[in-house]
């Protein structure tokens, strides 16, 4: 096996993130992507059932993105945005501002905008766009923009953040402070900064035993209390819209997000909507916040922004927020950047990705694919040992009854991962939650085969 020829070197020097070395075995050496599949060095094909950490929303090998990268690399590989500019960053900021503004309006009922690609036909100054490379760096920027926004207005006491328990926003220190997941971040409990936390919703396993139609968002009482009592010192609330992904695919009703936006507005606290995982069609609309009909204050984008071709992320701030960063009469310039912010090749990949979303009706494909997963996985809901089956857009999660302890949980997750791999699908369960987030463009036969593999794997465990 050719895999073997890499194994020793891999084990000697390569640090695999979120990987238990004792369980890793000889890892598949992935050498190629073909549509929704990844192919290893020995020619085995696997469905990329989590879209390579949710980034490769269009699968692999998209000729238009590849060509855009090739063309841009030949013209200009990098140039900074400090006191300089370049066409791809300008074009991408324009496109993102129009797409986000269109999504806000479409979410609020603007029927003239295309549901699958709601870009406004005219340019808009409603949003200013700051580029970075990864989701976590978009979150860091969002948090800093929120604090400086209040600073710019002399309200230096408004510098704390609120967040939902089990939210996840990335692994850098501030992102980790805002999204502290104990099972990931426990060693860093002593270095994260304090963030006010409130209970998070998950409608499928509602802690109050209620259903979304009649619950009155009881789960948000704590959040209401926290924001009301700390309004004077809170800069922002940061949330994952509609699905708290890494914390266990905790899917919640749009009404909850609408309520969160209202609680923020009532208390003069900015709302940061972290769309890094949910943005670009994953939930069955271009952005998750659209379902709730809200206008967020700050939005973080990443992952699928370039369909997983190159690292690029973006933080969008409402014009009223961005306008406080003027340098006259007092200098309030935002001093925050990374070397590769707005990299031209990554921006070119993102522009080509947006073209594909528009031309290939990708969001509609996600809606159809999601409906297929719902139908195929429905029987699992009745099975003993299955606590909950939940779906949203092209996300499907099966939560099993908890294992007796952390070691058993981890061993079960490893068994599920390996069983599915043997069945031709790459997954990474989150504790008791076995989930899939396949490429939005995966064809029906691939999704059907994936669902059947999931059913078999769960039946072997539950």
Ligand X SMILES: Cc1ncc(COP(=O)(O)O)c(C=O)c1O
Residue 196's φ and ψ, nearest 5 degrees, are: -75, 125
- Alpha helices per DSSP H over 108-179: 135-152, 173-178
User: What are the residue numbers of the active site?
Assistant: 18, 168, 274, 303
CB nearer to ligand X: give 238 or 261: 238
Structure-token match 């710019």, residue found: 152
CB nearer to ligand X: give 171 or 376: 171
14 alpha carbon, distance to own chain's centre: 26
Strands 313-318, 196-198: pairing is unpaired
Nearest approach, Cβ of residue 368 and ligand X (Å):
24
DSSP 8-state class, residue 401: P
Nearest approach, Cβ of residue 50 and ligand X (Å):
10
Residue environment code for 37-72, b if the CB has 16+ CB neighbours within 10 A, otherwise e = bbbbbeeeebbbbbbbbbbbbbbbebebbeebbeeb
Give long-range contacts, CB 8 A cutoff, 24+ apart: 69-76. Answer: 69/309, 69/310, 69/345, 69/348, 69/349, 69/352, 71/348, 72/344, 72/345, 72/347, 72/348, 72/349, 73/345, 75/344, 76/344
**β-strand partners of 197:** 163
Nearest residue to 268 (alpha-carbon basis) of 372, 150, 389 = 150
Q: What six digits make up the tokens of 406?
A: 């952390």
Strands 433-436, 395-400: pairing is antiparallel
Say if residues 237 and 227 touch (Cβ distance below 8 Å). yes
CB nearer to ligand X: give 215 or 271: 271
Q: How far is CA 58 from CA 227, 264, 436, in A?
A: 39, 34, 15
CB nearer to ligand X: give 242 or 413: 242
- Please state, in angstroms and rounded to a whole number, the distance separating the CA atoms of residues 234 and 227: 8
Nearest approach, Cβ of residue 54 and ligand X (Å):
6
Nearest approach, Cβ of residue 174 and ligand X (Å):
11
Nearest approach, Cβ of residue 137 and ligand X (Å):
7
| Residue showing the smallest CB distance to ligand X in the complex | 135
Nearest approach, Cβ of residue 302 and ligand X (Å):
5
Nearest approach, Cβ of residue 366 and ligand X (Å):
17
CB nearer to ligand X: give 238 or 269: 238
CA atoms within 13 A on the CB side of 357: 30
CB nearer to ligand X: give 166 or 215: 166
Helices (H) and strands (E) in the chain, counts: 15, 15
Q: Which residues of the chain form contacts with ligand X (CB under 6 A)?
A: 134-136, 139, 168-170, 240, 245-246, 274, 276-277, 302
CB nearer to ligand X: give 149 or 168: 168
3-state secondary structure of 132: strand
Say if residues 24 and 16 touch (Cβ distance below 8 Å). yes
CB nearer to ligand X: give 155 or 172: 172
Strands 313-318, 298-301: pairing is antiparallel
Nearest approach, Cβ of residue 254 and ligand X (Å):
17
């Amino acid at each position: 096996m050719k895999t073997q020829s890499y194994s020793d070197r891999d084990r000697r020097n390569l640090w695999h993130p979120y990987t238990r070395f004792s369980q890793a075995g000889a890892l598949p050496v992935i050498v190629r992507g073909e549509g929704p599949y990844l192919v290893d060095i020995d020619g085995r094909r696997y469905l990329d059932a989590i879209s390579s950490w949710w980034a490769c929303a269009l699968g692999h090998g998209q000729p238009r993105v590849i060509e855009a990268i090739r063309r841009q690399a030949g013209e200009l590989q990098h140039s900074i945005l400090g006191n300089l500019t370049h066409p791809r960053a300008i074009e991408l900021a324009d496109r993102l501002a129009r797409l986000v503004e269109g999504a806000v309006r479409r979410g609020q009922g603007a029927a003239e905008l295309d549901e699958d690609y709601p870009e406004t036909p005219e340019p808009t100054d409603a949003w200013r766009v700051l580029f970075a490379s990864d989701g976590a760096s978009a979150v860091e920027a969002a948090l800093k923009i929120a604090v400086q926004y209040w600073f710019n207005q002399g309200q230096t006491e408004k510098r704390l953040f609120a967040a939902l328990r089990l939210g996840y926003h990335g692994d850098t220190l501030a992102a980790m402070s805002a999204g502290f997941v104990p099972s990931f971040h426990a060693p860093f409990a002593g270095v994260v900064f304090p963030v006010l936390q409130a209970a998070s919703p998950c409608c499928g396993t509602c802690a109050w035993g209620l259903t979304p139609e009649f619950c009155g968002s009881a789960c948000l009482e704590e959040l209401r209390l926290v924001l009301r009592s700390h309004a004077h010192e809170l800069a922002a609330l940061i949330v994952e819209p509609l699905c708290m992904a890494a914390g266990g695919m905790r899917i919640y009703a749009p009404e909850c997000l609408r309520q969160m936006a209202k609680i923020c507005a009532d208390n003069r606290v900015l709302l940061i909507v972290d769309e890094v995982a949910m943005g670009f069609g994953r939930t069955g609309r271009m952005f998750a916040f659209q379902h709730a009909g809200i206008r967020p204050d700050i939005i973080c984008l990443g992952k699928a922004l370039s369909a997983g071709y190159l690292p690029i992320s973006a933080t969008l701030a409402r014009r009223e927020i961005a306008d406080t960063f003027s340098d006259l009469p007092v200098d309030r310039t935002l001093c925050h950047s990374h070397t590769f912010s707005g990299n031209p090749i990554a921006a070119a990949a993102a522009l080509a990705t947006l073209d594909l979303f528009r031309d290939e009706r990708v969001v509609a494909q996600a809606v159809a694919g999601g409906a297929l997963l719902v139908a195929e996985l429905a029987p699992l809901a009745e099975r003993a040992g299955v606590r909950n089956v939940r779906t949203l857009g092209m996300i499907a999660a099966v939560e099993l009854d908890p294992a007796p302890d952390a070691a058993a949980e981890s061993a079960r997750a490893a068994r599920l991962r390996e069983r599915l791999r043997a069945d031709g699908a790459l997954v990474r369960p989150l504790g008791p939650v076995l989930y899939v987030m396949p490429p939005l463009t995966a064809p029906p036969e691939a999704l059907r085969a994936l669902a059947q593999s999931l059913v078999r794997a769960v039946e072997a465990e539950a």
